[in-house]
Amino acid sequence: MPVKGKTPTANGGSATPSLSHLAVAGYRSLQQLTVPLGVLPLGGLTVVCGANGCGKSNLYRSLGLIAAAARGELVAALAAEGGLPAVFWAGPERTTREMRRGEQPVQGSSGRREAARLRLGMAGASLSYAIELGYRADDHSSAFVLDPEIKREWIWAGGPFHPRSLLVQRSGAVVERCGEGGRSQPLALEVSPHESLLTAVSDPLEAPEVFQLRRMILSWRFYDSFRTDRQAPARSGRIATRTLSLAADGGDLAAAVQTIIEIGDHEGLQAAIGAAFPGCRLTVDTSGPSFRLQLHQPGLLRPLEASELSDGTLRYLLLAAALFSPRLPPLLVLNEPENSLHPDLLEPLARLIAAVAERTQVWVVAHAEALITALEDSPGCRLLRLERELGATLLPGQTVLERAAWRWPA
């Protein structure tokens, strides 16, 4: 697929603030997991795969939780998943070698609630971030003792954590900037335990790194199984406005395609449609306030509209519109994009994904071996084949050096 210079990079032409690692501890099957992401100068591709139940969706959701923290919705997102009792790692604090060998029963100590900590972290080229949640401090008079609370947060410069690279730190209700020689300056004093420092500290002049990090995380895009049923938003029209990147529900598909036609890589999009559906071409009827997508197919006297397309065809068009966004996000996340696509479409889809991954970071959770194989050899691809042992998600084959690339701030 041709990649035109016309389409800007994810960061308006400058280097993308690439993520190098995602780290999770205590979240569902992710007892303690650090994964490296695929990194290229401007992009990179991470493909997460593995058997049912190995932890792919948990890892995908962890990224979503970091995004929820930047929107100020982390505690609500955890509550929607059933709260800490449901999402906290249900195994023992420590899994011993004897437990792994089956020589000792799996058991943990009682009274874990006080010590229970859920941690999420990401390392970037310029800024890294970690957040730690736990239960409310014991207050037996309250009915809300199982509410999750944000206990600590950290932002530091560069990838691997070092106390000297700490820029901003939150402990309880206090957020402070870490200055030279251990001197710190308060940025916020009464932050709610439900609010992340990413939303509590908002002044770009006072805390530029918080502002920059929040802005970057907020622009991540998640596409998770587009609806294609009869009532799907992508099948009905929506009042069209210029759409630089497709909405998560695909409801602005026609406007997104028209935007690509006007200011994006129109030829590339048509080539991608032709590669998947030989002889087909996309146009948009812009005569009314709700634009209408039209797929011209050989052998038909009129183009078909979104409401008339098959589920797989519509899903492929949605993925193509997302991947040809004139404004690519710094991280584009596709959860099981192969769902309901014919195997013949997986190779064209892989080519689209690989081309986009040269310009921005792409994260794909995939089941289909054909898609995984087609993506595996593309430049900058990091294949994460997850496994599960005694209920915990593992990334086999990680070297000691790779594991040491992430350290939780203390």
Residues that bind Mg ion (CB under 5 A): 57
90, interface contact from Mg ion, ligand ATP, none, CB < 5-8 Å by kind = ligand ATP
Strands, E assignment, 64-220: 118-124, 127-135, 148-157, 166-171, 174-178, 184-188
Site for ligand ATP, residues 58 to 77, rule: CB under 6 A: 58
For residues 385 and 142, what is the distance between their CA atoms, to the nearest angstrom? 43
Q: Which residue has the tokens 């695929």?
A: 38
Contact between 53 and ligand ATP by CB under 6 A: the answer reads yes
- Report the nearest approach of ligand ATP to the CB of residue 239 (Å): 36
226, interface contact from Mg ion, ligand ATP, none, CB < 5-8 Å by kind = none
Q: Which residue has the tokens 């490296």?
A: 36
- Report the nearest approach of ligand ATP to the CB of residue 382 (Å): 17
What is the bridge-based pairing of β-strands 221-224 and 184-188? unpaired
Contact between 28 and ligand ATP by CB under 6 A: the answer reads yes
Tell me the residue nearest to Mg ion as measured from the CB: 57
Site for ligand ATP, residues 127 to 186, rule: CB under 6 A: none
Tokens of 88: 């906290």
Contact between 57 and ligand ATP by CB under 6 A: the answer reads yes
Question: DSSP labels for 223-234?
Answer: EE----STT-GG
DSSP character for 29?
A: T
Quick note: the x/- pattern for ligand ATP over 84-123, rule CB under 6 A, is ---xxxx---------------------------------
- Report the nearest approach of Mg ion to the CB of residue 336 (Å): 7
Check: CB of residue 362 under 8 Å from CB of residue 375: no
Count of residues that interact with ligand ATP, criterion CB under 6 A: 15
What is the bridge-based pairing of β-strands 221-224 and 281-285? unpaired
Burial-class residue 292 by CB neighbours within 10 Å (0-12, 13-18, 19+).
Answer: middle
Give the phi and the psi of residue 63 in degrees, each rounded to 5.
Answer: -60, -40
- Report the nearest approach of ligand ATP to the CB of residue 222 (Å): 15
- Report the nearest approach of Mg ion to the CB of residue 296 (Å): 36
Candidate ranges 49-57, 187-195, 234-242, 337-345; the one touching ligand ATP (CB under 6 A): 49-57
Q: Using the rule CB under 6 A, which residue among 42, 47, 54, 70 binds ligand ATP?
A: 54
Contact between 391 and ligand ATP by CB under 6 A: the answer reads yes
Which residue lies nearer to ligand ATP by CB, 76 or 86?
Answer: 86
Which residue lies nearer to Mg ion by CB, 28 or 221?
Answer: 28
For residues 22 and 37, what is the distance between their CA atoms, to the nearest angstrom? 7
Question: Which of 312, 354, 124 lies closest to 220, judged by CA?
Answer: 124
Check: CB of residue 36 under 8 Å from CB of residue 141: no
Q: Which residues of this protein are in contact with ligand ATP, per CB under 6 A?
A: 28-29, 50, 52-58, 87-90, 391
